[in-house]
Chain A
């Protein structure tokens, strides 16, 4: 379990980094917290020729608000910074609630938010949370810069919409609407494990308590974050009742998901958990949204 030989590169600034990445887009990997990349290299499942260490790029390490009250985070922000930042707790409480579920404290001390998102593990917490939060990702290459909605960023198993030479530099999370509620539920075998099934939920109500927007996003049940579209559709435009939420959770688990079968959980058990957790997360979200009135 030793990595194959590689060259180690430390860019001075983001431009330097993007230049190098542009030249070696097929053979270079970016090293941030290293919590997924290094094990992958030690198993020799990844054998990059160049490892670009961006840990010195302070320009990617910020948490701030924009004019509309939304949040902006540099890709190099560590999990523990997100976990402990009062601004995030206030502006994006869902994200705040997600963080302790990610690995263990040692992992959260090194791991970065950008690293986790581009790794795109289908059982990881952050991708689903970002989709639920309607986050947008700023990606940059030597040639261009563009924004990608979280929903379009995750395109398959460990795959993202990043093009060769591009890197994720910033995450933007819109301000929470006035009457919104959120919840995060997860089932893993042990504390700190990847989810067997997890779900991030956001519900937005209008002033008459009618559901304006529903975001029920699962992890561990597909090739990436799975937005339970039919379940969400069944809620929008309606006044939410316990029965409706129960029914939505059932729709999600039966229609929106095709959970994998593996030695840790059968597809049927994952489906069952998806319904249980979906219902719990919708109920908690509604409860929280109602408190805003």
Chain B
């Protein structure tokens, strides 16, 4: 039996359950007497609601209740502001949050207006057709650049304009160095909307038990504990009366941490009102209309450089589309603003952004969470500067990397965790060197590419780098218990949606307690098992919850040794913990198993010493001072068919540094999935609204997700390990590493493949259709 798991590619403990259909998903919850809900959603992007007539629908057999905003009475309240604005001096922010049901006005297509509760979903949907809503259409605000023009329709009429926020952050003084620059690169760059499109749509089951005065909610949320706390407050219950279970989730990627969605506010309220269990399962069409989107920025950016290719400063003014409401505060644009700086030493930075309300779906973080947009701006400017200065992409990047001795590196501006942006540790040159080596850059450029070009083939190479701010606070907790059988249970509140927590957290605990990993079971996302914590987002699960597991396991270990010392009548320093038992060094027969110790730690008769805490159990919390900064380099070779403009990725390399690696296989899985989503962003996926704010891409036929045929069969990964000094495990997050730089890489390699000096790609995504238009312009 081995008791050293951290650092090894331990196979996933949760897979057997998942692969044999034994894992619980929300839609698996079938309760007796359960009702189902369907929503009437706005067909207009912007309209006043004059009248809602539900009388015909109420008469339909099987319809139990119908609710409009008016029926909610005092329960109708704007949802909470999930993230308040960070303490930035030059900041304006107008919080306008979503409501459970639209009352006087609808602000995006898909906004819920009426909830129909029926014996089943079929009847509920039939009844939707019986409802008549009298709309007074208003002009839709769709174009980001025009949303602030005078005489534009106001989405929130109590505000003077459609401006949701305005922020300026500065480091050094860009204006003082601009005149000294040898090269100025100035461009407009844009990154369009995309959506996460998790395999499992959102789902909620709520069950109010009047006898127990207890509300149980199964929710596809990344943050069950905040949902519990929020629901308790909204429903006027104590926190202990609300149990929220986030069981297995079929992917989440950020939109499932948004809260409160309208449905999350309503379904529990309806269950309490009617006294029956109530289920709502989002369908795929609703997922496009009712689950938040991301991306959507336009940057006016400028980079000043010396003739050696050293960045002197960057000036960036951008617009961020927040959609109809801004419940997630400024997280996404601040991530863009901060992550733009990347792994580079940028002495002077001026960044100003305006957040704009539009008649579109709300924008909240989706894997990458604003970072891909910032990285796109930085990497494009570097690409253009490199061309002008006749440097290779790798050279210009390497010349600007922050040096190892500069860490901790202070970027001065405020990050999404409200603290000044500081990179804890890093060593960037080795990542670049390794990536260049793995993609075989020199050989490709010097030997292969000329040959391919002679054959008439358009094959190009690209290399980009990025940082990923991960593992932000405030905190997470874990409870570790050794039972009478010697088995260990771990409870944490983060929730899980495929990250392998059941395995990686178990690796940490098994190593500390010296038990077989198969004896460690994890419970996650059940507020009855752990009721303190924040959730899984921002690539923080391993950093924050992982370290909480470690801290709790260390406390239990201490208890084990203390008790064993008493039982075995030997000082702690003479004891050895191994293979689920404690023995006295040099006297292997003098031993006691963890199970036996657990029984002794919970005596049934007799007396205990004052101050005794029963059980081999401990709860511990971990909260890092600031986030841990991961980094990496992606490189790729791709081919574009010069006639059809179809793109095929021939080789893809990711070199990544996420500090100490707990499980290399899991890290690679995160990267593979992330790259697939990044490729989707770059080439396939685009949320398209027409001029009236109608969503044209509300199905998987029109919103093109890359399939297994469309992503590289093999992604070559390399790892660099620079431990974080901010947590005992030395780990950094890795959840978004695959997605962040992919689109930037894609367009660099595409330009390189097409070898047309007039062709310049300044937008994401880059579909073959759009590329065709750009090629025409570049003729």
Contacts and interface: CB of A to CB of B under 8 A. Distances in A.
Most B C-beta atoms less than 10 A away, residue of A4, A193, A194, A263: A263
Contacts, number: 58
Interface string B690-724: 00000011000110101101100000000000000
A266 B770 CA distance: 9
Interface string A262-276: 011110110011001
A248 to B, nearest CB: 17
B89 interface: no
Interface string B328-358: 0000000000000000000000000000000
Given A1-B284, A2-B125, A43-B285, A189 B772 contact: no
A192 interface: yes
B643 A1 contact: no
B350 to A, nearest CB: 36
A222 to B, nearest CB: 18
Contacts of A194: 701
A4 B126 contact: yes
A190 B772 contact: no
B684 A189 contact: yes
Nearest to B121: A2
A5 B696 contact: no
Nearest to B128: A44
A92 B768 CA distance: 33
A2 B772 CA distance: 39
Contacts of B686: 263
Contact of A187 (B125, B646, B706): B646
A187 B644 contact: yes
Contact of B283 (A1, A5, A191, A273): A1
Interface residues of A, number: 24
Main secondary structure of the interface of B (DSSP, over half): loop
Given A2-B121, A5-B122, A43-B285, A263 B707 contact: no
Contacts of B707: 190-192
Interface residues of B, number: 29
Given A1-B285, A2-B122, A191 B773 contact: no
A106 to B, nearest CB: 12
Interface in A253-290: 263-266, 268-269, 272-273, 276-277
B138 interface: no
A291 to B, nearest CB: 25
Contacts of A277: 644
Contacts of B704: 189-190, 193
Interface string A180-214: 00000001011111100000000000000000000
Contacts of B121: 2
B688 A263 contact: yes
Given A2-B121, A191-B709, A276 B768 contact: no
Given A2-B125, A263-B697, A266-B773, A190 B706 contact: yes
Contact of A263 (B122, B126, B643, B702): B702
A272 B696 CA distance: 24
Contacts of A43: 285
Nearest to A47: B129
Nearest to B646: A187
Contacts of B125: 1-2, 44
A193 B702 CA distance: 10
Contact of A190 (B126, B710, B773): B710
A265 B709 contact: no
A266 B771 CA distance: 11
A5 B126 contact: yes
A273 B644 contact: yes
A189 B125 CA distance: 33
Nearest to A1: B283
B125 to A, nearest CB: 5
Contacts of A264: 702, 767, 769
Contacts of B701: 194
B54 to A, nearest CB: 19
B62 to A, nearest CB: 11
Given A43-B285, A190-B709, A269 B126 contact: no
A277 B284 CA distance: 34
A4 B126 CA distance: 6
A133 B282 CA distance: 44
B22 to A, nearest CB: 24
Interface in B654-699: 684, 686, 688, 696-697
Nearest to B285: A1
A193 B707 CA distance: 11
Nearest to A275: B643
A265 B644 contact: no
Contacts of A269: 768-769, 772-773
Interface string B733-774: 000000000000000000000000000000000011100110
Nearest to B707: A190
Contacts of A268: 772-773, 776
Interface string A22-52: 0000000000000000000001100000000
A269 B646 CA distance: 12
A1 B126 CA distance: 10
Contacts of B285: 1, 43
Contacts of B644: 187, 273, 276-277
B122 A190 contact: no
Nearest to B645: A269
A190 B283 contact: no
B556 to A, nearest CB: 49
Interface string A232-269: 00000000000000000000000000000001111011
Contacts of B643: 276
B126 A266 contact: no
Nearest to A270: B769
Contacts of B709: 190-192
Contacts of B773: 266, 268-269
| 9 closest residue pairs by CB, A with B | A1-B283, A191-B709, A269-B772, A2-B122, A276-B643, A265-B769, A2-B125, A263-B688, A269-B769
23 contacts: A2-B122, A2-B125, A4-B126, A5-B126, A44-B129, A187-B644, A187-B646, A189-B684, A189-B704, A189-B767, A189-B768, A190-B707, A190-B709, A191-B707, A191-B710, A194-B701, A263-B697, A265-B769, A266-B769, A266-B773, A268-B772, A269-B773, A277-B644
Interface of A: 1-5, 43-44, 187, 189-194, 263-266, 268-269, 272-273, 276-277
Given A189-B768, A269-B769, 14 more contacts: A1-B284, A1-B285, A2-B122, A5-B126, A189-B684, A190-B684, A192-B707, A193-B704, A194-B701, A263-B686, A263-B702, A264-B767, A269-B773, A276-B644
